[in-house]
Amino acid sequence: MKPRRFAVTAGEPAGIGPDLCLMLAGESQPEILIVIASRDLLIQRAAQLGLDIDVRCVSPDAWPTEACSAGTLYVWDTPLHQPVTAGQLDCNNAPYVLETLTRAARGCLDGHFTGMITAPVHKGVINQAGIPFSGHTEFLAELTDTPQVVMMLATRGLRVALVTTHLPLKDVATAITGDRLQRVTRILHTDLVAKFGIAQPRILVCGLNPHAGEGGHLGREEIDIIEPALAQLRSEGINLTGPLPADTLFTPKHLQHCDAVLAMYHDQGLPVLKYKGFGAAVNVTLGLPIIRTSVDHGTALDLAGSGRIDTGSLAVALETAYEMAHA
């Protein structure tokens, strides 16, 4: 099969994203990877890491037709706004970070790329620059004019999708409405079929409250909101089990019979997944008209330029993007 093009965004320039991208050149790749970053930054960081890499500029006018051999990296040069020192944030480069994401996403929409893989960004420094930014997921949803997206993290043997994402805990219960739960579940079901090739996905649903509300004694959200929403979804043919207490749902007895878990909020589902697969997990944005995967860790400013980083999550992010493209 002819190799396809995938965009890789290098993320926060002072973090480990550029290091991760450079390490892609350590071996030949099965697909054509185009790193969207500053060429000067990559050359500077390669020298700091002691890596001998041929950083080749490419562009939409002349995309490469073959995957890189070991020691070579394709880059769509995107200029920095200010020079970068590894480990030192500079809010002046926030527009550069967003430009790399914009180029990748629009490239996917325009057919230049089959999918995009993202290295970590630093939300705080982007907001410090005066640019409202709550994360890749929300940014890409707006860019692609997608009304509803779903964050899902996955590692080998476990997928966890979220009904709510980056909300204060005090706001979670109010945010979980029947309409929202149904929209998120439909997206999860649809993309498990379309992007992962699972013909009849089995989804386990967490309750919101301890013991899934204990019959209403520990909260009525399960009775008043979650159970009616799930009943409607089951009538549409979606295979759902729950709501189940989260502390018992994440056990082998239940997980061996499911394709994904739907958690009600960020820290209900993700600590379990990261304990199981940290360093070998991937963040997937469901519901987009494009394929997008990401590493599951942050910018690790203290490790930038050190050579002491683990590329396992990036490897899984690449594998997952390739898998989704094949489905």
Residue 53 has pLDDT above 80, yes or no: yes
Q: Could you say which DSSP state residue 88 is in?
A: B
H-type alpha helices, the chain: 17-23, 39-49, 94-109, 123-128, 136-143, 172-175, 178-194, 221, 227-235, 246-249, 252-255, 266-277, 312-326
Triad 319, 293, 241: Cα angle to 5°:
95
Specify the pTM. Answer: 0.91
Instruction: Check residue 279 and give its pLDDT.
Output: 81
Amino acid at 257: H
Determine contact, residues 254/242, Cβ cutoff 8 Å.
no
261: pLDDT strictly greater than 80: yes
- Report whether 211 belongs to an annotated binding site: yes
The number of beta carbons lying within 10 Å of the beta carbon of residue 10 is 29
Query: Is 90 exceeded by the pLDDT of residue 135?
Result: no
How is domain 5-146+288-326 classified at the CATH fold level?
Isopropylmalate Dehydrogenase (3.40.718)
Identical fold, 5-146+288-326 and 150-274? yes
At 258, list the tokens. Answer: 């499911």
Tokens 């959200």: give the residue: 221
CA dist list (Å): 71 to 49, 52, 148, 319: 14, 7, 40, 20
> Where in the chain are the domains?
5-146+288-326, 150-274
Q: Note the pLDDT of residue 134.
A: 86
pLDDT band at 147 (very low <50, low <70, confident <90, very high): very high
pLDDT tens per residue across span 296-325: 899 999 999 999 999 989 999 999 999 999
Q: Residue written as tokens 């640019």?
A: 131
Q: What is the mean pLDDT of residues 186-209?
A: 97
Q: Please tell me whether 326 is known to bind a ligand.
A: no
Q: How far is CA 151 from CA 71, 96, 184, 264, in A?
A: 34, 24, 9, 12
The pLDDT of residue 74 is 98
Helices and strands (H, E) in the chain, number of each type: 13, 12
Four-residue CA torsion sign, 288, 262, 98, 87: negative
> Is residue 156 very low, low, confident or very high in pLDDT (cuts 50, 70, 90)?
confident
- pLDDT of res. 105: 98
Q: Quote the mean pLDDT of the chain.
A: 95
Contact 244, 205 (CB under 8 A): yes
122 is in an annotated binding site: no
Kindly tell me if the per-residue pLDDT of 82 is higher than 80: yes
User: What count of Cα atoms within 13 Å lies in the side-chain half-sphere of residue 321?
Assistant: 30
Q: Is the pLDDT of residue 1 over 80?
A: no
Tokens coding 12: 């926060």
- Note the pLDDT tens digit of each residue in 214-256: 999 999 999 999 999 999 999 999 999 999 999 999 999 999 9
Residues whose CB falls within 8 Å of the CB of residue 291, separated by 6 or more in sequence, listed in order: 108, 114, 115, 116, 195, 321, 324, 325
The tally of CA atoms less than 13 A away on the side-chain side of residue 319 is: 12
Task: Give tens-digit pLDDT for 267-299.
Answer: 999 999 999 988 889 999 999 999 999 998 999
Looking at residue 327, its pLDDT comes to 76
Question: What pLDDT is stored for residue 137 in this prediction?
Answer: 86
DSSP tag of 67: P
Determine how many CB atoms are found less than 10 A away from the CB of residue 245.
Answer: 18
Stronger pLDDT, 29 or 185, i.e. the higher one:
185
Q: What is the pLDDT of residue 2?
A: 78
DSSP, collapsed to helix, strand or coil, labels residue 116 as strand
Neighbouring CB atoms inside 10 A of 240's CB total 19
Asked whether residue 166 is marked as a ligand-binding residue, the answer is yes
Q: Does domain 150-274 have CATH number 3.30.1330.30?
A: no
- Binding site annotation covers 283? yes
> Looking at residues 142-168, what average pLDDT do you find?
93
Query: What average pLDDT does range 42-50 have in this prediction?
Result: 97
Classify 321 as helix, strand or coil.
Answer: helix
Q: What Å distances lie between residue 218 and 21, 82, 215, 246, 261, CA to CA? A: 48, 53, 7, 14, 22
The pLDDT > 90 percentage for the chain reads 91
Q: What angle, 0 to 180 degrees and rounded to 10, lies between the N-to-C axes of helices 227-235 and 178-194? A: 40
Consult the annotation and say whether 195 binds a ligand.
Answer: no
% residues pLDDT > 70 (the chain) = 100
